[in-house]
Amino acid sequence: MSGMMWLVIGVIVFIFAFIIIVYNRLIVLKIRTNEAWAQIDVQLKKRNDLVPNLVETVKGYAAHEKAVFENVTKARAMMQSAGSDVGKVIEANNLLTGALKSLFAVVENYPELKANQNFLNLQMELTGIEEKIAYARQFYNETVRMYNEYQQKFPGVLFAGVFGHTTRNYFEIEESEKKAPQVKF
């Protein structure tokens, strides 16, 4: 009977080791997506901090374009209140990107503004941040893909729910907004 007992013990140890490996893998992937998200968040915050300055500068030349400023301010406020809710942040981001785009479209009508050094600096900074958001988004989506795939495939699918893992949202942007707002000179 002792042979049987050893077999049972062996199987139990094997199953435990197996579960531990899957558990750790899930944790590693989860941490990696969180870190990737944090990198996007940093850039989004930087952009949010830049917006009031930009609005003030543009206002100095085009004070009567109220609708545009309202949209930008609204989107920025939404971004701030979104907190760590990925879905809301994505929505607010798309809104803000769109609002900024119409802001830059308005700027086209004000040649003096386009020559303002302060405005040019802000614009350059914004373009840099937009690029970084795009790169950080690329990495985030890659980590999310790995995390989600592991949760949906065997053996991860057996334990993902038990250990409280859920699939994450990709950070998708609207097709028309894939390019950073660019202003021709």
Number of H helices, E strands in the chain: 6, 0
Min separation Cβ 79 and other proteins, Å? 19
For other proteins, the closer CB: 58 or 126: 126
Considering beta carbons, is residue 16 or 135 the nearer one to other proteins? 135
124 binds other proteins (CB under 8 A): yes
- Near other proteins in 91-110, by CB under 8 A: none
Burial class (CB in 10 A: 0-12, 13-18, 19+), 185: exposed
CB 69 within 8 A of CB 51: no
CA distance 183 to 143: 32
Q: Is the dihedral of CA 182, 55, 109, 118 positive or negative?
A: negative
Q: Is residue 139 near other proteins by the rule CB under 8 A?
A: yes
DSSP 8-state code for residue 173 = -
Selected from 132, 170, 173, 183, the binder of other proteins by CB under 8 A is: 132
Please report, for residues 81, 106, 172, the alpha-carbon distance to residue 88 in angstroms, rounded to integers and kept in the order given: 9, 27, 12
- The verdict on 43 binding other proteins (CB under 8 A) reads yes
Task: Tell me whether residue 42 or residue 78 sits nearer to other proteins (CB atom).
Answer: 42
Residue list 143-162, contact with other proteins (CB under 8 A): 143
How many residues form the binding site for other proteins (CB under 8 A)?
16
The reply on whether position 46 binds other proteins by CB under 8 A is: no
Distance of alpha carbon 155 from alpha carbon 40, whole angstroms: 30
Q: Which residues bind other proteins (CB under 8 A)?
A: 32, 35-36, 39, 43, 124, 128, 131-132, 134-136, 138-139, 142-143
